[in-house]
Structure 1
């Protein structure tokens, strides 16, 4: 079976498997807080900063720390299942992006890209062109080779040489004010179904135009991230471990750090968790966070819960979210809380 025939076969199988209804979440406790910055400004003392985190849907999060912010790659455009799986042409929905991108996100200094699939990267070039003219996108060689078709090279950072691998730590990347830093961790992406991974592959050379189908947005190397928020002495006071794709242990696990700072929050990916072993158990047993966020859980085919407010949020297809929650509850440390956030909700608001 040649490459094209194989792709068509996989596409047909995926379309058939995913064509059922999205998962109901009626019995799950959703976190739906659209209030922003609800801490009274008068409660702050000199030197205090607030950390606000907003879930943007799929793998996207906005982290605002005082006057500084970074973002993980958002996905507002949700092409229909048929267009994605056959594959047919897809493109970012400019009007929808214009409506849904939070005003606060436009100040983000970096966009952290975990991998280059369409549901993580396709909206990023337009966002950088139209809304974030100075923001830098960071990610794999494949990511930079895709986005360079429309974004200048100086606004793209290939993190291959920065990444932690195994227990070996990587290199920190700092924002301009040295209040936020992040370190990529070499990870992997779970198979999509039946042990089969689709839309894999890399681009070793720069593209001259953006991909026109979902299969053109190749995965590339997948990365997790450690994100630190720093005090005035540039010491970490809040640490997040972030993943936008489920992975087999030890991929994506924290390296051995050169400090004693514990992980405060772990952000997990629900989609395709059942396609890998020991997920999320291995990560939670290693990081032991106080807060666990369950992301990339909602159905993202031809659906956007913020845009279609009369439609209930549905869970990602072929995924037992309740089973994932039970597995989290079985290994989380005593007193830890887990959050299943609805798109655009805020789920943390701390004074640091």
Structure 2
């Protein structure tokens, strides 16, 4: 597809991918990968320290930048996008007027509960399913002021929308959430898809271009007695905002282009070289959430470049390539 096409996927949101079939964790991880385990048991509340000792703190990748984190019987979601419908982004016929679609049949079996939903930014592949999940579970939605106003547009009550800017450290007892002001990925024109913010509630969104970027956040979750884990939803950063985070694990969005200078070396240094680095946002998020993940063969180089850059900039970090639904215990 010509590079000057206005909606070329390489100039929009597209992040690194690994080829037509998924690469196993064992094939690309350096050292011993984090332990995958059975789903966390439901039942009476337990402390996070007990959950950690019993192996009940788990992290499951839901594709794109999406995660389910179970801390005992408490659940936090990050950018949960499960509907995964076709916009033409991966086939060279991207349609910004694609109607927003929520696939409850896909979502509901996976989302039995959630108390907090952390939104990095409000593009459709991060925010599309958030209102439905918030209604279904009664979860609180944490995000930018744009996420707040979009939540109101979807009819969510203001009391369950928590606007943040970055710098907040939210205490939920068994875990804390530190909010980090961040930056969205740059495309090949050094710009980004659907820029803009919502400073008041708009009409209810109907198409994917109704969901602008709306500023970008990152989050760090620290589990009492367990790991500290850093989550990104896009591949740019202000390293000055990351000073002192020092996470055990970093979920790192693969870069869509080379527009952001020294992305990986700056990120690894700013995070003080995490023990484990998990690439995210490299799969084709317009295909079903089944293993092996569907990815575009032409984009394998981007993920290879990310892994090579991590190994060079942070050689003691282990690289873990996740699979859908697998519960990882860090």
Report the TM-score when normalising by structure 2: 0.81
Task: Describe the shift of the 1:294–1:125 C-alpha distance in structure 2 as closer, same or farther (beyond 3 A).
Answer: same
1:15–1:81 contact (8 Å) kept in structure 2: no
Pairwise mapping of residues 169-188 of structure 1 onto structure 2 (< 5 A)?
170-175=167-172, 178-188=173-183
2:57–2:72 contact (8 Å) kept in structure 1: yes
Partner of 1:254: 242
CA shift for structure 1 position 93: 3.1
1:214 aligns with 2:208: yes
2:177–2:220 contact (8 Å) kept in structure 1: yes
CA distance in 1 between counterparts of 2:71 and 2:7 reads: 44
1:289 aligns with 2:274: yes
Partner of 2:24: 29
CA distance in 1 between counterparts of 2:311 and 2:145 reads: 36
Partner of 1:4: none
CA distance in 1 between counterparts of 2:149 and 2:261 reads: 31
CA distance in 2 between counterparts of 1:250 and 1:286 reads: 5
CA distance in 2 between counterparts of 1:67 and 1:77 reads: 25
Pairwise mapping of residues 235-314 of structure 1 onto structure 2 (< 5 A)?
237-250=226-239, 253-256=241-244, 262-272=246-256, 274-287=258-271, 288-301=273-286, 303-306=287-290, 313-314=294-295
1:331 aligns with 2:328: no
CA shift for structure 1 position 37: 3.9
2:254–2:306 contact (8 Å) kept in structure 1: yes
Report the TM-score when normalising by structure 1: 0.76
1:266–1:291 contact (8 Å) kept in structure 2: yes
CA distance in 2 between counterparts of 1:113 and 1:142 reads: 10
Partner of 2:30: none
- Consecutive unaligned residues of structure 1, counting only runs of 5 or more, are 1-8, 164-169, 232-236
CA displacement, residues 215-266 of structure 1 (integer Å, 9 cap, x when unaligned): 11001110011211124xxxxx421121111104437x41346xxxx42111
CA distance in 2 between counterparts of 1:137 and 1:16 reads: 30
CA distance in 2 between counterparts of 1:228 and 1:267 reads: 14
CA shift for structure 1 position 273: 5.4
Instruction: Specify which of 66, 83, 104 is matched with residue 77 of structure 1.
Output: 83
1:120 aligns with 2:126: yes
Partner of 1:66: 72
Find the structure with the greater CA-based Rg. Answer: 1
CA distance in 2 between counterparts of 1:46 and 1:101 reads: 22
Partner of 1:98: 107
CA distance in 1 between counterparts of 2:68 and 2:40 reads: 16
- Consecutive unaligned residues of structure 2, counting only runs of 5 or more, are 28-34
CA distance in 2 between counterparts of 1:55 and 1:101 reads: 12
Q: Which structure exhibits the higher relative contact order, with contacts defined as CA atoms closer than 8 Å and separated by 6 or more residues?
A: 2
CA shift for structure 1 position 100: 5.2
1:70–1:111 contact (8 Å) kept in structure 2: yes
1:173–1:181 contact (8 Å) kept in structure 2: yes
CA distance in 1 between counterparts of 2:18 and 2:307 reads: 14
Task: Describe the shift of the 1:17–1:242 C-alpha distance in structure 2 as closer, same or farther (beyond 3 A).
Answer: closer
CA shift for structure 1 position 278: 1.5
Instruction: Specify which of 317, 325, 328 is matched with residue 344 of structure 1.
Output: 325
CA shift for structure 1 position 342: 2.0
* DSSP 3-state at the match of 2:312: helix
CA shift for structure 1 position 267: 0.9
Instruction: Specify which of 110, 121, 138 is matched with residue 116 of structure 2.
Output: 110
CA shift for structure 1 position 315: 4.5
Please provide the CA RMSD for this pair: 3.2
Partner of 1:57: 63
